[in-house]
Amino acid sequence: GGAEHLPHVNFSFDGPFGHFDLASAQRGFLVYKQVCANCHSMRLLSYRNLRELGLSDEQVRAIAADVQVVDGPNDEGEMFERAGRPSDRFRSPFANEKAARAANNGALPPDLSVITKAREGGAQYIHALLVGYEDPPAGVTLMDGMYYNKYFAGHQIAMAPPLSGDGQVEYTDGTNPTVDQMVRDVSQFLTWAAEPEMEQRKAMGVKMVLFFTVLGGLAYAVKRKVWADVH
């Protein structure tokens, strides 16, 4: 059968006045960093972009310095590893697609930079996918190394349930890291990553509606005046 109808969850960014919940997106980054980044790259993001999530320069520098990135060639023509800098792109977990597949039973973990745009349903789908694991229904046999997921197209997915236990990620802001909370937070983070300018876009939309409402009213007033003497 096809994909199930997605369970609806509310997000702060829903609707024309939607906005990002930066605290949630920051926690979502922790989830990405501690869990998803073991398999998924986010090649379009640089560490310095985390400033826009409200992290300080120091925090960003520390996060970047925590990873080893490949740089070079140096004067001797060799590649070398060094500590990351804020200007570096997020480090990819695998050197190339072949290595990624070899580590994942032949499947390729997609880059998550714009995943909420690439999949129908966006954040709703990410949320559903992460909570959609269950035992296969009677009569369905899973292929080797595959898991049953209600919301994945075809239902057999090569990704083991990545968030399966409360407290799997350590939060620093006092929020209780239940599975549900972590799933919401990482969905928030991935939505921000795919469209950091969403708030400006929505604000512009609201202004356009106001502008055309006023313009429409003026046009109507002018029309009434111009045609006032025509009987």
Among 6, 25, 39, 60, binds ligand HEM (CB under 6 A): 39
Nearer of residues 12 and 104 to ligand HEM, judged by Cβ: 104
Q: Does 193 bind ligand HEM (CB under 6 A)?
A: no
Would you say 3 or 55 has its CB closer to ligand HEM? 3
Q: Which is nearer to ligand HEM, 30 or 60 (CB)?
A: 30
178 is an interface residue for ligand HEM by CB under 6 A: no
Q: Of residues 6, 25, 30, 36, which one binds ligand HEM by CB under 6 A?
A: 36
Residues contacting 41, CB < 8 A, separation 6+: 90, 92, 93, 94, 109, 111, 112, 113
The yes or no reply on residue 6 touching ligand HEM (CB under 6 A) is: no
Which of residues 42, 45, 50, 163 is near ligand HEM by CB under 6 A?
A: 163
Candidate residues 159, 184, 185, 194; the one interacting with ligand HEM per rule CB under 6 A? 159
